[in-house]
Structure 1
Amino acid sequence: MSGFPFFVPAGLITEGRMMADIEFNDVLAGVLSGTARSVAGALSMQASARSDVAHTAATDFSGAYANAFVLVCQAESQDRGKLSGVLDRLPDEVDAARVKATEERARRQAYEAWQTREFQRSAARALDPFGSAYLVEAAADPMPSDRAIAAPTASAAFRVAGRSHAGRGGGLTSSADPVKLRSFVERSRGLNTDLEELLTRMQTAWAGFTSSCGWVDLGTVSFLTGFAGLLRENQFDVLWVGHIAEAFEKAGGTESNLVLDLAILNQNDRIGTNRYHPLLDGLFGNPFAPGGELKTTPTAKDVGLWWKGLTDAQRAELIASVPLVIGNLNGIPISTRIEANALTARYFAGKGGLTKMERTYWESVANGTRTLVSSDPANDRIIEMIGTLTPVTKETITHIPGTGASLKHFYSREIQAFSEGLVKDNLGETVSFVYKDGPWVTWAGERSNHNNPAMQAMGDRVAAFQHEVIGRDPIGRRVPPNATTHSAGLTVTSGAERAGARFATVHSLSGSYLMPEWTPIEGTKYHHHQFHKEVINNLDGVTLWSNGTPHSRPYVFEQHIYDGGEQGGLDAHNRIAQGPATNAEVVERIGKLIRESR
C-alpha cells in the first residue's frame, strides 16, 4: 500500500500518535474538595466553642479592655465566618473543574479515535478510484469537536482583618475576673492547636491539587495566607488576654486603664527582648541561682528531648514569655519557631524609628503572610521560609546569599525574589529557606570574603541548620536538600560541606572561590551559572587562599553561561541572583535542574 498515494485531511495526525493528556489528577482534586468541606465544617464547630469561652470570659469584665476584648472576639468571628464561606465555595469550583476535565478527556479520546478511523478510511480510499465507500462511511462518522474545552479558573480569596488590642472607652478603670480570663487563654490555646491542624490539612490538600492539576487556571488565591493570618491573630489574642489576666491578678481584679496600659505595654516589650525564663534553667543552667552554673551548650537533640518532656502548659508559657529564644533555638519544631517569631514580629513592627518598608515587613510576618524560622534582629539573625512543608513537598532549597547581605535586603524583599521564583514555578513541591543566620560576609574586616576562618565559621552554621533544623523536620529530612549560592555564598557553602552538610545539587550563582581542602561530595551534582561578562571570573587564577572558582573547574561544575547582552561588571554579577522579573531564564533552568535531580 505504501506505493500508492492517498489523501489525508489537513490537521490529522499520523496513526498511533496520541494527543497529550491534560494535567489533572481527579483523585487529588477530589481530596481537595472533601478537605475544604470538612475544614469549613470544623471551623463552624470551633466558632461555637470559641464563642462560649469568650462569653464566659466577658462575664464580670468591664471597662476599656472589656470593650476591646468584645471587638477582638467579634473580629475573629467575622474572619472565621468569611474563611468558612470561602472554603464552602471552593469545592464547587473544583468539582466543576473535575466535570470539565472529564469532558475534555472524553473529547480528546473521541477525537483521537475518529482520527484513527479517518486515517484508515483515507488509506482505503487510495485503493478506491470512486471513493464511494469513503463517502458513505465518512458521512456516518462525523468529526467530533476539535476545539479544546477552556480550562476553568479556581479562586479562593481571603484576608484576615487587623485587630486592635488597645483599650478604648469605658471610663477610667477596668475590672475582670482573672480566673475566667485564664480559662479563655487555656481553651483558646487548645482551639488554636486544632486550628493549626486544620490549616495543615488545607495546605497539604491544596499543594497536592496545584502540583497535579496544572490544567486548571488559578485566579486570586490568598486563602491559605489568610488562614495563617487568622491563626496568628488568634495566637496573639491568647497572649494578649494572658497579659491582661496577669495585670488583673496583680491588681486584685480592678485597675486604672492607665496602669493597665503601662503593664501590658511592658509585657509586649518583653516579647521582643526577654531571653530568660525559669523553665530554661533545665536546658541552659543558671549561674545566678545558689549553687547554679551554666551547662554546656545543648545539642539540637538535647533541646528536642527537653521540649518533648515539657507539658503543654509549659511549652505555651515559654512561647508567650520568651518567643525570642524559642523562635531561634535548634531542636524546636519549625512550626513552633514560626509561631514564636510571628509574636516577636509584632514587637518589631511596633518599634519607633522604622521605615515604612521595615514596618510593612514585620507586619507581614506577624499576620502570617511571611514565615520566619529564625528572627533575632539584634544579633543579625533571620531565615525566611518560602513555601510550606507538606507531605507533597519534594525538595528543600537553602539559599545562601553573597557579600553584603543584610536585614534591609529582606525588608525590601530583594533577597527572597530568586527563591520565590523557584517556589512559584513548583507549587506545593518546593520549599526554600533564605538564610542569613548571624552577621554576614563583608568586603573587608574580620568577616571579609577572603577570610577563610570566618567563611568556615559561617559554613559551620549552615551545616548546623541543615542537620538540626531541616534535618530534624519530619518532612524536611525525607526530601532531598539543595543549595543555591550567590557569590561568596558558594564559599560559605563549600565550608558547610566540609562541616558535613550534604546536598543533592549545589548551584553556584556567579560563585566566588571554594574553600581550601574542599573536595566535591560524591553524589552531589554541581552547577555554575553566570552571565558571559562576569567580573568574578577575575578570581579564576587566584589560588593563594582558595581552591579555585566554579568557573575554573568545569570538570566539577557543569557550566551554564547566559547571554547578558552588554551588561557586565557588578550589574551582571548581581542580576544572576535576582528574581524572574529580570532573571527568568536562570530561575527556570535551575528549577528544571532541581526537578530532574529528584
Structure 2
Amino acid sequence: MNFDTRVADRLIGACRDAARALQDQRGGRESVSTAACAEFRGVFADCFRENVAAERAARSELAHMLDDVARQVQKAKSAAEVEQRRLSELTAWVLAAGWASAGSGVAVDVEPRPSTEETDRPSVNADTARQGLRAWASGSTAGASSADPATLDSAVSTFRIQDDTARSAADGVGAAASEFERECSWAHSDLDAVGSGLRRFLEDNQQDATRLSDIASMFRAAGGSGHVGQVTVSNDVLVLATVPASLSNAALLSYLSTATPADIKALATLTGWQQTLQRMDPSTIGAWWAGMNTGAGTAADVAGVSQRQELLLAAAPAMFGALDGMPALARVRANQLNAPSLLRAAEKDLETALKLSGTGQARHDPNRTEILQNAVAYLKQVEAGDVQLYLYDRDRSRIVEMIGTPEPDTRHVITYVPGTFTGMNSFYTGGVQQVSKYLRRQAPGTVAFVYKDGRFPGEEDTAGGPNMGRIGEANDQDLARASGQQLASFESGMRTDPYLNGAEQTGIGHSWGLTNVTSSEVAGARYDKVISLAGAGMLPDWEPQPTTEYSNLYYYDVLIHGQGVTNPFTNRGVVWDGNNPIHRDEFDQNYYRGPDDDELDGAINSVEEGNILMDNHSLIATDSEDNMKALEKMLRTVTR
C-alpha cells in the first residue's frame, strides 16, 4: 500500500501551524483595523469596514478548514496503520504456514489466519471555504471622504507583515498537500480547495492592502508631507486611486473640471487618469480644456490659464506637455513647469560625463559632454520662459519649439521641419530655428513650430558631426511614411487650438524635412502652402493637393547635385527615384546663387568645391545676409 505516515505527519503539522498562525493574527489585525476606521469617513470607509468583516469571516473559515483537514489526515493515518499491521500479520502467517507445509521437521506453531478483509480506505477532502467578496467601490461615489493617512498606513504595514507570515505557512501547506496526494495515495484525497482557498484569501488581502495604501497616499498627497492628520478629498479621486476603470471618460473630464485643490494635489501621485486622457481624441481634450471654468481667476503671470488649470498642469506637467489637443500655451506652460525636473536629469547626466572625462576613461565621448552642456543651458532658458517648448523628450529625441504667441489675431501658422542629421543639439544651439524666427519677426501674427518628433536620418546622440554612413536613411520610404503619420498627428492636435485652427497653415521643410512634410500629406495632413528648402523628395504615392501652393527654393548644392545622378539599373534618379521638388512642375522654382558659386567650375572634383555645395545646402535654412533673397521670398509666400 502507498501510504507514508511521515508524509501524513508533515501535512498534519503544516495544517495545524497554518491554522494557528491565522488565528494568532486576528488580534493584531482587529486592533489596527479599528484604529484605521476611527477617523475614516465616507463610502470608501464603509467598503473598508465591509472588507474587514469579510476578511475576519474568511480567516475563521480557512482555520476551520485546515483543522478539519488535519483531523481527516490523522484518521487516515490511523486507518493506514491498522491496514499496515494487518498486512504485516498476514504476510507473517503466510510465511509460517508455508514453512510448516513444507515439512521442515521443525515444529511451527501456526496462529489462526489473520483477516483478509481490507481496511476501508479513508477519504481526505476539503470543502471550499466560504469567502465574501471584497469590493472597493459600491453604490454612489458622490460626495467626499476623510481619513488620517497615518492610521491607514499603519494598518497596511501590519496587513503586509501578517500576510508574509501567512503566505509562508500557506506555502508549507501546499507543498505538504501535494506530497501527501503523491505519497499517500492509498487514501482517497482531494485537497485542491486547500490551496485555492488560501490563495484567494491572500490575494484578497493583498488587494485590500494595495487599495488602502493607494487611498492613504491620496489623503497624504492632498494634505501635504509629514503627519497631516485628518484630510478630506472627493470620492472621485479615491475612485481614480482604486478602480480607475470604473470612471468613464466623460465622468473623468467632468471631475477634473471641478476638482478641488486638495484633489489635484492628490492626482499628482496617480498615473491611471493620465493614461485615460492620452487615449482620448485630441478634439475631446481641446473642447474639455476650453470649456473648463475660468471664473476662478487667472493664475499669476500665466496668461490664458485659470488657477484650476494651472494646478492640473503642475500635477502632471510631463503628460500635459505632450498631450495632443491641449492648447499651445497650456502645453508650453506645462513644459515650463516640468523644466526643473528635466534640468536636474540633464545636470546629473552631465556630472557623470564630466567624471568620466576627469578619469580619462576610454569610453568617454567629449561630444556627449558638449551636448549635455548645451542641453542644460537650453533647459535653463525654458525654465525662465525664454524658450517655449510644445514637446520635449530628450531620450526619445522629441522636441517641438514654439516661436511666437498664439493670439486671437494669429494669421499664419508655420510648421518648420529641419533636415537630415538634425539632432537635439541642433535645437540647443539655435541652428534650426533661424528661418522661423526671421519669419516671426517680419510677419506679425505668425506662430511657428520648429518640429522634430523622433530620430531623423543620420542623427547622432552627440554633438559630433553627421553620420554620413547613415545618409541612406534619408531615402527610406518606410521611415518617411512613419514620420509622415507622426507629423500628421501633430498637425491634427495642434490645430485644435482655437487661436491656431483658423489661421493659414504653411509647412516648410529643409532637405529631408520636405519629405517629412509631404509624407504627412500622404497621411492626411493639409496645408495652404508648402515651401521646400532644397527639398529631398516625395513618396511615390504623394500627390499635390489642388488647394495647396507649392514652392521650391534652392542653391546649387550637394543634394541638387545628387538629384541629377541617375541609377543605371532603374534609369531613375538615385534620390527618391527622381521624384524631387526640383523636377516637379507643381513647385514654383526659385534658384539662387551662393556666395562662393563663382569658384564652381561644374565638375565638382575637389574638396573645396564639395564644401561649397555643403555650405549652400545649409545656407538656405539660415537667416544669413547671404540668404536674404531667399528669406524675402519665403516671407512673401507666407504672407500673401
TM-score between the two structures when normalised by the length of structure 2 = 0.46
Bigger relative contact order (CA 8 A; separation at least 6): 1
